[in-house]
Structure 1
Amino acid sequence: MGKKIVVELPEMLKLPEDEVEERVKVELAIRLYERGILSFGQARRLAGLNKWEFIELLVREGSGIPYDEEELESDLEVLGELS
Structure 2
Amino acid sequence: MNDEILCIKVPEDIFITIGKKKLKKIMKLSTAIKLFKDGELSLGKAAELADVPKLEFMEILSKEGISVIDYLPSDLKKEINVLK
- In structure 1, the residue matched to 2:5 is 4
- In structure 1, the residue matched to 2:32 is 29
Q: Which runs of 4+ in 1 moved over 4 A?
A: none
How far the C-alpha of 1:36 sits from its partner, in A, is 0.8
1:19-76 alpha-carbon deviations (Å, 9 max, x no partner) = 1111100000000110011111110000011111001100111112x2368xxxxxxx
**Could you state the TM-score of these two structures normalised by the residue count of structure 2?**
0.69
Long gaps (5+) in structure 1: 70-83
RMSD over aligned Cα atoms:
2.0
**Could you state the TM-score of these two structures normalised by the residue count of structure 1?**
0.70
- Call closer, same or farther: CA 1:58–1:25 in 2, change over 3 Å: same
In 1, distance between residues paired with 2:42 and 2:11? 29
- Call closer, same or farther: CA 1:53–1:20 in 2, change over 3 Å: same
Matches within 5 A, 1:49-60: 49-60=52-63
Long gaps (5+) in structure 2: 72-84
More helix by percentage: 2
